[in-house]
Chains A and B, each alone.
Chain A
């Protein structure tokens, strides 16, 4: 005990430090995301996007003359922890708004809190449909990310038109994201008049997917719709190789990190996947953000080193949109920012030109037209012709 107390005191003192701030009172914004565990990479990607944007904004004099400061909390992918973290951000750190991470359940758990406490909540990754379409009015939840229902339609459309598939089989990661897409794909298939050959799920730790794939093959699948993160998705591709089954694979954006070819081997190039944004795109804004990333994070030496680029790009645009809204609202008051977000002027973002990003009825900044189908080619991500 005698050794423990001073240590505890030291840690406490360390934590108290940021409270003693400088002259211009900064505007705190929060992030509740998975910073540890299996999804840690998503939290890192979002952090990078937010940090680059905040650096740009602060370098340009901040918002309302005040610098922005990011306060991050780890939700461990656990909705309960996420709620605790968001409460802390709202009640203790008095954030003007907060961002959410990859996990749909965590975001769903935060929605009632955001609406009740009238604190804007911007999703930058989790694609569950119900997050923004939550029935609240006024609705404090916004999103700069994909929506599963729309992505699923796009994936099936690609399967039918380009891959000429009639009975795609589903390979879904066994988590809420996979489950949400299962629903979305079922609905999209019904709408498109297609019949699915089957749906199989896999765990993050599975090192062999041949049994699932063999089942789908036996059921007559003529394409695979893949929903999963890069590591398990790579196992799916390698399992296909071992089976010697050459079938079109169409993937959700889980594999969009630059490392997928390294994980999946040469067959990675055959996989078509949906994308909102890629740093391989040559555009001035893209090069500017990439340069900032390379400067701030020395491990990044080129677009292939950008981990989970969708998270970074979405977060980057979302932060700028929020800053615009705070400036427009002229205060850090939650309802004022919410109203401003619903009435933003057009804005040229990294991903696209938002004209405008949100309306009173549509809190999703990205729509069906913003999804592009791409694949890896020679270590780069290029659109599929």
Chain B
């Protein structure tokens, strides 16, 4: 009972981390940069969806589409303002710039959305199903399937399509990529838009399980990043699996060792894993020729 419940909880939360981790993965493989405002974008997705469904009474599918488009648009702006100027100079300050942008968005949301957490209604989160004697919300299954499904799509796209390969090529040699007809700037923008849309999707999906508030993204942003690193940023499978692993580790630690140990155990796991495998559990070292 305890084990079953923890596994189900862990997988559902882990899928969430995996989804965010995929967002980090996308920008990393394309531009060797990540958006440290990922958590804020996740919040943005949830807030937009909330405003459209509860505020304006839109149907969920339409609200979802618009919220994702809004997040993607934010990703485009962010790349333009906080990433491109620094990458063009070969500076690592994009790290700080995206943090500052996240701070900006989070505080802007405090005023535009309000400081009070709000509840997002969802028919998928109303009544639990019973699976193996454990109550599971349909939405939790949707999250798990979405996470794994998207990872599959990513793997298929990067393994088997020219566009997927082109995405991977850009960062390895931007000059040569351009000469192969790959528009490096546009690919990077695309990656940021996609990454932000993924974060927005995570936000919309988690909102009914949790709540919508301006600060909801911070913790998720960090845990998603931890999952991305744990899995090895290069590997789409890896980051989603690592997300599930992290979720499971948290739930199992809480269940069997008590909640006091959870944070230390889960982040301790990250340290240990990186100690043993410096490029993540499923990553591999990049080519280093002398």
Contacts and interface: CB of A to CB of B under 8 A. Distances in A.
Interface in A315-350: none
Given A44-B115, A263-B118, A210 B6 contact: yes
Nearest to B128: A242
Interface in B120-146: 126, 128, 135-137
Contacts of A204: 219
Interface in B3-24: 5-6, 8-10, 12-13, 16
B268 interface: no
Contacts of A135: none
A40 B2 CA distance: 36
A84 interface: no
Categorize the interface residue count of chain B. Answer: 35 or more
Nearest to B206: A207
A315 B107 CA distance: 24
B33 interface: no
Interface in A173-224: 174, 200-205, 207-208, 210-212, 214-215, 218
B123 to A, nearest CB: 12
B135 A242 contact: yes
A43 B117 CA distance: 14
Most buried by B among A43, A211, A244: A211
B90 interface: no
A242 B117 contact: no
A64 interface: no
Given A208-B13, A231-B211, A263-B211, A214 B5 contact: yes
A304 to B, nearest CB: 11
Contact of A203 (B5, B128, B263): B263
Contacts of A264: 119
- Determine the main DSSP class of B at the interface with A: helix
B31 interface: no
A36 B107 CA distance: 7
B192 interface: no
A262 B118 contact: yes
Nearest to A198: B258
A360 interface: no
A244 B5 CA distance: 12
B210 interface: yes
A208 B12 contact: yes
Contacts of B115: 40-41, 43-44, 307
Contacts of A231: 117, 210-211, 213
Contacts of A235: 209-211
A37 interface: yes
B254 A211 contact: yes
A212 B117 CA distance: 23
Contacts of A41: 115-117
B99 interface: no
7 contacts: A40-B110, A41-B115, A203-B219, A208-B13, A244-B135, A259-B117, A265-B119
Which 5 residue pairs spanning A and B have beta carbons closest together? A205-B219, A242-B135, A211-B254, A231-B117, A211-B255
Given A201-B259, A231-B211, A264-B119, 17 more contacts: A38-B215, A41-B115, A41-B116, A207-B209, A207-B210, A210-B5, A210-B251, A211-B252, A212-B254, A212-B259, A214-B2, A214-B5, A230-B117, A231-B117, A238-B209, A265-B119, A307-B116
Interface of A: 36-38, 40-41, 43-44, 174, 200-205, 207-208, 210-212, 214-215, 218, 230-231, 234-235, 238, 241-244, 257, 259, 262-265, 299, 307-308
